[in-house]
């Protein structure tokens, strides 16, 4: 049983690192802060991408591709944006290497210095709005609803696989609209898409809200977000959608003739989710035996393991399970029949548990005689013997049931770990223990900062759906119109 995987209760952080490594999801590369996403991890990411991409297209978006490089002068144009990203920029200064005259190897060719430095995109607002300038002349050109799947680089000092890496993969939607209202609706629509994806595909309940001004995306007027709770009670921001107002249109001079024949700046949104979602998926559901995957995102949904001693026995079992495999595949379920005889079945059981395969079917000689098969579910670790006839239908039903059960479990956990708190002492005590703390806040950046300094908790979001309940700020006692979500966060 995955010998030596640390227990969540003892060392959550190490448990996470070890699952990522042992389930073959990702590893650190030789390049500081950059990860290698291994095939099994990438297969999960591909499933996420496909589902999200379908949802983006269903809401009218198209994909395109913009350059990796952002000229420094472009980044500078939107001042807050520039300030927000300056400290994390990887900078290309030269475009050629040459043989090292002093010895072996290569050196940067000093004659190949760029006139203007190029930044590896930390996000693409600048390069995209510079392009949109030529695409937008009239209200007829709007809305522009474009998404890009890309790699971005933010030179983070402390990195962690999936959660925070110098290079990561993501999608970034960048839309332009004729009116403020349309842009706000778009930002909210995409937040809704993210929430739906998190809940229906990742089985991850999320709180939808807006960020406090302090935590907004650099250059945004409003940042919407979805926040999820991990099993250690910490929050993880799983996706953001920004209403950018006319900031980028003004910085890049993107004007259009509106229906009233007047020149106006375009209204913008941007929204993104990244390979960070992999971290959320792992930390939300997995257990001390390894990964637990919601069936919709599992690269292998069902594994079938024969338990046999002779080749002849294997042939008999194979004959019996082949129709099951066909039926499952016909239903669009991914199945692996693992008859590799280099490994014992006990090793295989542990391995697929570690890798989070939702359903395991096992058939031995007694099953063959009895017309049964053992069916085990990964989330509850329960197993039972069922008739082999009709097992494909059983599996189909079970996969759906598990998708929901995993969600419900995470939801119950979040509810158990969400606390309403009214005094500063309670607040400090609860934040120390973990979980989401619903507390009143006076709305000032100053208070937010002080709370962060004293407790390391940040305002995760001001929930979109919240009871309008007046109260007193937990820190200053000043008036507050509603509770916000405080938590320590990844």
In the complex with its own copies, the residue whose CB is nearer, 89 or 178, is 89
In the complex with its own copies, the residue whose CB is nearer, 37 or 236, is 37
User: Min. distance of Cβ 343 from its own copies in angstroms?
Assistant: 10
In the complex with its own copies, the residue whose CB is nearer, 158 or 312, is 158
User: Min. distance of Cβ 131 from its own copies in angstroms?
Assistant: 6
In the complex with its own copies, the residue whose CB is nearer, 161 or 228, is 161
In the complex with its own copies, the residue whose CB is nearer, 175 or 455, is 175
Can you say whether residue 126 is alpha, beta or left, with left for phi > 0 and alpha for psi between -120 and 50 degrees?
Answer: alpha
User: Min. distance of Cβ 336 from its own copies in angstroms?
Assistant: 13
> Residues in the site for its own copies, rule: CB under 8 A?
27, 29-31, 34-39, 42-43, 45-46, 62-76, 82-83, 86-99, 104-106, 108, 117-120, 127, 130-131, 134, 140, 146, 150-151, 153, 155, 167, 169, 342
In the complex with its own copies, the residue whose CB is nearer, 112 or 420, is 112
The set of residues, in sequence order, having a beta carbon less than 8 Å from that of 40 and lying 6+ positions away, is: 23, 24, 25, 299, 355
Q: Which of 227, 219, 226 is nearest to 248 (CA)?
A: 219
User: Min. distance of Cβ 342 from its own copies in angstroms?
Assistant: 7
Q: Which two tokens stand for residue 30?
A: 């030789």
User: Min. distance of Cβ 301 from its own copies in angstroms?
Assistant: 16
User: Min. distance of Cβ 45 from its own copies in angstroms?
Assistant: 8
User: Min. distance of Cβ 348 from its own copies in angstroms?
Assistant: 15
In the complex with its own copies, the residue whose CB is nearer, 155 or 349, is 155
SS (H, E, C) 319-370: HHHHHHHHHHHHCCCCEEECCCCCCCHHHHHHHHHHCCCCEEEEECHHHHHH
User: Is residue 201 a contact partner of residue 184, using CB atoms and an 8 Å limit?
Assistant: no
| Planar angle of CA 106, 117, 129, nearest 5 degrees | 135
Q: Which two tokens stand for residue 259?
A: 């229906």
User: Min. distance of Cβ 122 from its own copies in angstroms?
Assistant: 10
Torsion of CA 421, 427, 432, 436, to 10 degrees: 40
Where does residue 197 rank: exposed (0-12), middle (13-18), buried (19+ CB within 10 A)? Answer: buried
**Full DSSP string of 88-155:** G--EEEE--EEE-TTSSSEEE-GGGEEEEEEEEPSSSHHHHHHHHHHH-SBGGG--EEEEEEEEEE--
Where does residue 314 rank: exposed (0-12), middle (13-18), buried (19+ CB within 10 A)? Answer: middle
User: Is residue 480 a contact partner of residue 440, using CB atoms and an 8 Å limit?
Assistant: yes
Q: Which two tokens stand for residue 400?
A: 């759906």
In the complex with its own copies, the residue whose CB is nearer, 348 or 440, is 348
In the complex with its own copies, the residue whose CB is nearer, 94 or 450, is 94
In the complex with its own copies, the residue whose CB is nearer, 134 or 262, is 134
Strand partners, 146: 62, 174
Q: Which of 439, 403, 402, 407 is nearest to 423 (CA)?
A: 439
Buried-state track 27-46, b at ≥16 Cβ within 10 A, e below 16: ebeeeebebebeebbbbbbe
User: Min. distance of Cβ 187 from its own copies in angstroms?
Assistant: 20
Q: Which of 28, 11, 5 is nearest to 163 (CA)?
A: 28
In the complex with its own copies, the residue whose CB is nearer, 88 or 442, is 88
The conformation of residue 45, written as its DSSP 8-state character, comes to: H
User: Min. distance of Cβ 11 from its own copies in angstroms?
Assistant: 24
In the complex with its own copies, the residue whose CB is nearer, 27 or 425, is 27
Q: Tell me which residue has tokens 């979980």.
A: 435
User: Min. distance of Cβ 74 from its own copies in angstroms?
Assistant: 7
The span from the CA of 118 to the CA of 94, in Å, is: 9
User: Min. distance of Cβ 162 from its own copies in angstroms?
Assistant: 12
- In the Cβ-directed half-sphere of 479, how many Cα atoms lie within 13 Å? 3
């Amino acid at each position: 049983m995955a010998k030596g995987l640390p227990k969540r209760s003892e060392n959550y952080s190490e448990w996470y690192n070890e699952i990522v490594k042992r389930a073959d999801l990702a590893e650190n590369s030789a390049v500081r802060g950059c990860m290698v996403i291994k095939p099994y991890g990438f297969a999960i990411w591909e499933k996420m991408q496909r589902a999200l991409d379908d949802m983006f297209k269903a809401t009218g978006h198209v994909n395109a591709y913009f350059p990796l490089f952002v000229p420094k002068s472009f980044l500078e144009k939107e001042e807050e944006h520039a300030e927000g990203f300056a400290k994390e920029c990887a900078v290309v200064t030269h475009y050629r290497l040459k043989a090292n005259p002093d010895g072996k190897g290569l050196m940067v060719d000093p004659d190949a210095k760029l006139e203007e430095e190029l930044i590896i995109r930390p996000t693409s607002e600048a390069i995209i709005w510079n392009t949109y300038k030529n695409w937008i002349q009239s209200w007829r050109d709007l809305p522009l609803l474009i998404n890009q799947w890309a790699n971005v680089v933010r030179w983070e000092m402390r990195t962690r696989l999936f959660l925070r890496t110098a290079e990561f993969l993501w999608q970034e939607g960048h839309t332009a609209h004729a009116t403020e209202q349309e842009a706000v609706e778009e930002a909210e629509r995409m937040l809704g898409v993210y929430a739906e994806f998190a809940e229906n595909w990742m089985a991850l309940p999320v709180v939808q809200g807006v960020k406090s001004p302090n935590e907004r995306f650099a250059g945004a007027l409003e940042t919407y977000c979805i926040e999820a709770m991990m099993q250690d009670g910490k929050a993880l921001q799983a996706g953001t959608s920004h209403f950018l107002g006319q900031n980028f249109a003004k910085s890049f001079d993107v004007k259009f003739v509106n229906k009233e024949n007047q020149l106006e700046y375009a209204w913008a949104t941007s929204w993104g989710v990244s390979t960070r979602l992999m971290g959320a998926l792992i930390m939300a559901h997995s257990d001390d035996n390894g990964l637990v995957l919601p069936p919709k995102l599992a690269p292998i949904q069902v594994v079938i393991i024969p338990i046999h001693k002779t080749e002849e026995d294997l042939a008999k079992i194979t004959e019996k399970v082949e129709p099951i495999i066909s039926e499952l595949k016909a239903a669009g379920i991914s199945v692996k029949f693992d008859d590799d005889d280099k490994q014992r079945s006990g090793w295989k059981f542990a391995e697929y548990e570690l890798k989070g395969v939702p359903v395991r079917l096992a058939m031995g000689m007694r099953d063959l005689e009895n017309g049964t098969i053992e069916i085990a579910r990964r989330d509850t670790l329960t197993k039972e013997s069922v008739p082999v006839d009709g097992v494909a239908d059983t599996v189909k039903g079970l996969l759906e049931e598990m998708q929901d059960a995993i969600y419900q479990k995470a939801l119950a956990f979040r509810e158990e770990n969400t606390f309403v708190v009214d005094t500063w002492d309670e607040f400090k005590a609860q934040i120390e223990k973990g979980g989401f703390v619903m507390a009143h806040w006076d709305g000032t950046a100053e208070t937010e900062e002080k709370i962060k300094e004293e407790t390391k908790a940040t305002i995760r979001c001001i929930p979109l759906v919240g009871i309008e309940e007046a109260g007193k700020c937990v820190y200053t006692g000043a008036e507050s119109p509603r509770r916000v979500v405080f938590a320590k966060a990844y």
